[in-house]
Amino acid sequence: MRGVSCGSYSKLSKKKLTLAIPLVMVLGLIMGFIADVRFLSALIIPMTLLMVYPMMVNLKFQELLNVGDKRLQLMALLINFTLIPAIAVLLNYLFLKDIPYAALGLLLASLVPTSGMTISWTGFTKGNLPAAVKMTVIGLILGSLLTPLYASVLIGQSISIPMAKVFSSIIFVVFLPMVLGFSTKKYLVKKYGQPHYQQHLAKKFPPVSTLGVLGIVFIAMALNAQLILGDPMLMLQYLLPLALLYMANFVLSTLIGKFWFNRGDAIALVYGTVMRNLSIALAIAMTAFGTQGSQIAIIIALGYIIQVQAAAWYVKFTDRLFGSPQAAAV
């Protein structure tokens, strides 16, 4: 793929993901229906590390030193850690109050903001890329630290939240891969140089992470196939609050961005608040909650379908909403 630009390569990856996740979900359901899949539980931890570690390698921690976009970052924090969790709690009350583990899945999806997709979609639409990178780093660290506390306060009355296990899981699936990713990048840059790393090595990691995502989605669907296929309406019951959460997030972030920020900052704000880190949410669900983890993971896995499809469509309307990059530069 020597002649393919980084942007077009990323677009191709996102397009494949929109097709691959529904396909893997169906395959997982089929396998879980026709075979004994309990052995798949042993693959949860390896697949989790395969999913999380590669995306940590390209994380740019140095962006935390940039303090020139304080108002934008504070607004992203307000949306990510106050408004969206509040909307998730409301939707849980309206649609999922009798299904506590599904409610926890929706809450987890709302509590871990920003992912690598925040950066790539902001780049596609010529938004403020450094601000998006900073949102990703802050959102990942802060979301990982706050998730157990939020979950305990907001849903701890319905189900028991194993706080120690959740914290240890976050250390294992977030901070350990973060240290390993940082060390890996430092080693590769030292050995090959920054230009070679950026041009040839950096793009090799995201596809590996995608394999981990697909593996975890497959396992979650296979382990719950009997439950889902025994009650097909369950999927619709999960999809509705999830779709409403994303719709509310897009509308809220778009309006705030349009009226309070310039074009580049507005785009970064939208993708820095809408693109949830579903990989981390999945990892926490599957490693911290034992046998119930795969039930929690169903609604998070469905989030991939909505999130990627919605982001792809939103790109088409970006210039109409915020103006073209050329007009913004004038």
Q: How many domains does the chain have?
A: 1
Residue found by looking up tokens 């740019």 in the block: 60
pLDDT of residue 125: 85
Kindly state whether residue 309 falls inside one of the protein's structural domains: yes
pLDDT of residue 3: 38
Kindly state whether residue 1 falls inside one of the protein's structural domains: no
pLDDT of residue 137: 84
Distance between CA atoms of residues 216 and 48, nearest Å: 7
CB 299 within 8 A of CB 109: yes
Nearest to 246 by CA among 280, 282, 276: 276
H or E element at residue 307: helix 293-322
pLDDT of residue 262: 95
Residues in the chain, overall count: 330
**pLDDT tens for the 330 residues of the chain, in order:** 343 344 444 444 555 666 787 888 889 989 999 999 989 988 888 888 887 888 788 877 776 666 678 999 999 999 999 999 999 999 999 999 889 999 999 999 998 888 767 877 887 788 998 888 889 888 888 888 888 888 888 876 666 777 777 788 778 877 888 899 999 999 999 999 999 999 999 888 888 887 887 888 898 888 878 877 877 788 889 999 999 999 999 999 999 999 999 999 999 999 999 988 887 888 888 888 877 887 888 888 888 878 877 887 888 889 899 988 866 665
Kindly state whether residue 29 falls inside one of the protein's structural domains: yes
pLDDT of residue 330: 55
Kindly state whether residue 185 falls inside one of the protein's structural domains: yes
Residue found by looking up tokens 């903001």 in the block: 113
Q: Which CATH number do you get for residue 89?
A: 1.20.1530.20
Distance between CA atoms of residues 108 and 116, nearest Å: 18
Kindly state whether residue 18 falls inside one of the protein's structural domains: yes
Q: By residue range, what is the domain housing residue 194?
A: 6-329
pTM of the full predicted structure?
0.76
Structure letter (DSSP) for residue 112: S
Nearest to 315 by CA among 77, 73, 127: 127
pLDDT of residue 13: 53
